Amino acid sequence: MKIFLFGSSGMLGRYVYSVLIKNYNVKCINRNQYDIVNDNDNIDKLNESLFDTTNEDIIINCCGIIPQKTKQNDYKTYILGNTLFPHKLESISKEKNARFIHITTDCVFDGKTGNYNEDSLHTACDLYGISKSLGEPNDSTVIRTSIIGEELFGKKSLLEWVKSNKNGEINGYTNHYWNGVTCLTLANFIKTMIDNGNFWKGVKHIFSKNIVSKYDLCCYINEIYHLNIKINKYEDTNAKNMTLTGEIEINKSIYEQICEINNNIKLT
């Protein structure tokens, strides 16, 4: 069995690769082989990157166009990368009778109510959230979650932002609520899922058992990484509750998951 991994150089993809490569034959599809935006019209190039896929294989999509690295009004890039590309991968996986795992985001919701389940109405009003919502395939294994982790490139994630303020001072939102998972936790979940052959069709949420504020999250990172940051409690004028509920609850606390990232894995 081979695992074809798209987005292996991104934040999540590097964790997924580092976990799966210990037990599986992982083939990373890089941008030279297929660029999800610039090669959008070249279906032959996409097929070529997956030419030796069989019915025993798995395709994992960790790619995504994110607002931290893309202009808010870049409609073409968001739609090509977040909406059309996942559906193309699903189509190819069906043709080859391979499994397809797609990772999507809690940002399909606007955060006004929280406690969103798999059937909650998508309420995103921004281009990123809408493009991700439209890009969720119906007949593949779709994981909807929210993640934090370390990055080798870009350094745009929340965790990297907190780390970049070592010995400094930041504000932490006390009324932004979250119960996502770390990239390492999600990567380990995907490995266990593959080990056990536990695939499904449609969307399932993966989330942590405890709910924290962004202030709490910043405090955890500060403590675990020994950053010596002064973190001020800050109440945003627009409260946000992005919490998820559903079938798959991770028992480890968010604090424990961040400790695991710091202690147990070195990205390459």
The number of beta carbons lying within 10 Å of the beta carbon of residue 218 is 24
How many CA atoms, within 13 angstroms, populate the side-chain half-sphere of residue 196?
8
Q: How sure is the predictor about 222, in pLDDT bands with cuts at 50, 70 and 90?
A: very high
Q: Which of 103, 143, 109 is nearest to 129 (CA)?
A: 109
Domain that holds residue 204: 2-148+178-208+243-250
* Residue 207 predicted with pLDDT over 90: yes
Residue 81 phi, psi dihedral angles, 5° rounding:
-80, -40
CATH number at residue 65: 3.40.50.720
Q: How sure is the predictor about 267, in pLDDT bands with cuts at 50, 70 and 90?
A: low
Predicted confidence (pLDDT) per residue in 37-96, tens digit: 888 778 788 888 887 888 889 999 999 998 887 777 788 999 999 999 999 999 999 999
Question: Does residue 157 sit within a domain?
Answer: no
Q: What's the number of domains the chain is made of?
A: 1
Provide the β-strand partners of residue 101.
Answer: 60, 141
Question: Does residue 164 sit within a domain?
Answer: no
H or E stretch at 232: strand 230-234
Question: Does residue 259 sit within a domain?
Answer: no
What would the mean pLDDT of 228-249 be, rounded to a whole number? 97
Strand duo 169-173 + 230-234: pairing: parallel
Question: Does residue 144 sit within a domain?
Answer: yes
Question: Does residue 15 sit within a domain?
Answer: yes
What angle separates helix 214-224 from helix 254-264, to the nearest 10 degrees?
30
Q: Which residues contact 118 (CB under 8 A, 6 or more apart)?
A: 144, 202, 203, 204, 205, 246, 247
Predicted confidence (pLDDT) per residue in 110-128, tens digit: 999 999 999 999 999 999 9
Question: Does residue 50 sit within a domain?
Answer: yes
Planar angle of CA 17, 264, 244, nearest 5 degrees: 70
Predicted confidence (pLDDT) per residue in 97-108, tens digit: 999 999 999 999
Work out the mean pLDDT of the chain and round it to a whole number: 94
* Residue 268 predicted with pLDDT over 70: no
Share of the chain above pLDDT 90, in %: 80
Given this model, what pLDDT does residue 32 score?
80
Alpha-carbon gap, residue 163 to 161, rounded angstroms: 5
Print the SS3 string covering 25-39.
Answer: EEEEECCCCCCCCCC
Given this model, what pLDDT does residue 72 score?
73
Question: Does residue 84 sit within a domain?
Answer: yes
**Which DSSP symbol is given to 36?**
T
Question: Does residue 261 sit within a domain?
Answer: no
Alpha-carbon gap, residue 16 to 190, rounded angstroms: 8
